[in-house]
Amino acid sequence: MTAALQIPDPEQPMDGGRDRSADAAHSASPAGAGHPAPPVDAGHPVHLVHTAAALRDVPRRAGARAVVMTMGALHEGHATLIRAARRRVGPGGQVVVTVFVNPLQFGAGEDLDRYPRTLDADVELAAAAGADAVFAPSVDEVYPGGEPQIRIAAGPMGTLLEGASRPGHFDGVLTVVAKLLHLTAPDLAFYGQKDAQQLAVITRMAADLNFPVEIVGVPTVREEDGLALSSRNRYLSAPERSTALALSAALFAARDRLAAEEALRVRAASVGHAAQHRSAALAALGEDRAAADAHAVAYAAAGPLHGPSVARAAARAVLEDAARLDPPLTLDYLALVDPSDFTEIPDAYQGEAILAVAAEVGSTRLIDNIRLVFGAGRPEAAAAHRGGATGDEATTTDAATSAAPVTPAAPSTTPQGPLGATR
């Protein structure tokens, strides 16, 4: 298997045998409301195991095995991952959900002790979403003899953004992911795009270290008000939740402002230099609003690329307003980065980027991100990114993988970047 990142549509069934009425009922409900869709095969039991030996004793099916790694406190976002895995492997495959609160990825003063642990509810949700087994090991099972002396280093990407705010965090993430990949032996592993940097470093690790697994990213699930689903949302009081909505609002403001600029550039490309003459003529006629519009088009035609700076400014304005609320939002970072290495992009950048934000509201730290495409209206960018996501809900689907369930295949030697782009 390659370490390519495929982004399936969580609401598009990938096997012909699934009852599609369940998916229709789910898509009609708001995220987090109602009950998850039933599993593909509700007749077989869901195995709850706590040791690697017991997991090995779970009968393995002939099809592919998918794993969804979680720290428990499962919610509709996790259910979406499980359903995506279920559809991808089909009724002949197997879905394993891991529930393990990994101490290595919590820093000093973080919420390891108070992190919610709701195993009974987690098993129920996993079963309803289509899991075949839940692997909930103890700390001693994953780290026999105590913390490991040898860990996997996340490299330069692991020192940026989340890595800078939480030193050593991604080393802990990669170490446990590597161990769980060995223990569960999957063909595919599913992760949410809400943790974009985590998804990127895991994908890079799988490619660089030749793990025989395909890393699959699934789009962020949001509640009706836009807040990205997270196990930490339950810590928020009602006023804190209201303030926390600024994270998604900032991202959407950047997306909308960029879309407006790109639309203006498309108009400018079709009008060309005639826009400036039209602006002057309209101004002479007293048509001020029309003249201003024509002037904006002319400016877009002649002006430099500044999409990234516009997107940053739109997002930052929302976050600055939220810093004056009661309770206030305390910004950790707002970053517009290249998805291949998570370094900040320049103002002349064209292509796909990730706008990421992290902030604290009260004592709760939250993260969110959105994918943006710069230069989408220009022919060269459109050619380079044809089929790419241009909004938060947009996804790309591999036609070959959406046509039928996958079966295990030999690993590829082609290294790929965090978004599946060959390096």
CATH code assigned at 336: 3.30.1300.10
Binding-site residues for (R)-pantoate sit at 105, 198
Q: Indicate the pLDDT class of residue 9, thresholds 50, 70 and 90.
A: very low
- Alpha-carbon distance of 417 to 423, in angstroms, equals 6
Domain range for 341 is 238-384
Q: pTM (2 decimals)?
A: 0.74
Q: What percent of the chain has pLDDT over 70?
A: 67
Q: How confident is the model at residue 390, as a pLDDT?
A: 35
Does any domain span residue 3?
Answer: no
Residues 220 and 247 in one domain: no
Do 148 and 168 sit in the same domain of this protein? yes
Residue 421 placed within a domain: no
Domain endpoint, select from 227, 249, 269 = 227
- The answer on pLDDT for 194 being more than 70 is yes
**392 pLDDT above the threshold of 80:** no
Residue 289 has pLDDT above 90, yes or no: no
Question: Which range in 27-41, 105-119, 130-144 is most confidently predicted, on average pLDDT?
Answer: 130-144
Q: What is the average pLDDT across 282-309? A: 55
Whether residue 412 has pLDDT greater than 90: no
Average of per-residue pLDDT across 16-31: 35
* Residue 2 covered by a domain: no
Per the annotation, the verdict on 295 as an active-site residue is no
CB 384 within 8 A of CB 351: yes
Q: Which positions make up the binding site for ATP? A: 71-78, 192-195, 221, 229-232
Range in 93-107, 194-208, 259-273, 384-398 with the lowest mean pLDDT: 384-398
Which CATH number goes with the domain that contains 24?
Answer: 3.40.50.620
Which of the pair, 307 or 367, is modelled with greater confidence?
367
Instruction: Report yes or no on 397 lying in a domain.
Output: no
| Active-site entry in 78, 169, 273, 385 | 78
The pair of three-digit structure tokens given for residue 13, joined into one six-digit string = 């069934």
d(CA 211, CA 202): 10
Q: Is residue 84 one of the residues assigned to a domain?
A: yes
pLDDT at residue 137 in the model: 96
* Sheet-wide strand order for 188-192: 47-49, 133-135, 94-99, 65-70, 188-192, 214-218
Same domain, 117 and 221: yes
Structure confidence at residue 29 (pLDDT): 36
Q: Distance (Å, rounded) from C-alpha 160 to C-alpha 109?
A: 20
> Could you tell me if residue 13 is inside a domain?
no
Whether 205 and 252 map to the same domain: the answer is no
One domain, residues 131 and 205? yes
Let me know whether 30 and 88 are in one domain: yes
Asked if residue 279 and residue 159 are part of one domain, the reply reads no
Q: Does residue 409 belong to any structural domain of this protein?
A: no
List, in sequence order, every residue forming a beta bridge with 69; answer none if it has no partner: 98
Tell whether the model's pLDDT for residue 225 goes beyond 80: yes
- Binned at pLDDT 50, 70 and 90, residue 409 comes out as very low
Same domain? For 162 and 65 the reply is: yes
Same structural domain, 112 and 60: yes
Residue 293 has pLDDT above 80, yes or no: no
For the chain, what is the domain count?
2
Domain for residue 191, yes or no?
yes
Please name which of 392, 314, 384 lies closest in space to residue 349, comparing C-alpha atoms: 384
- Answer yes or no: do 130 and 258 share one domain: no
- Are 75 and 53 within one domain? yes
Tens digit of pLDDT for each residue in 131-143? Answer: 999 999 999 999 9
pLDDT bracket for residue 382 (50, 70, 90): very low
Binding residues for beta-alanine: 105
Q: Are residues 150 and 208 in the same domain?
A: yes
Average pLDDT, the chain: 78
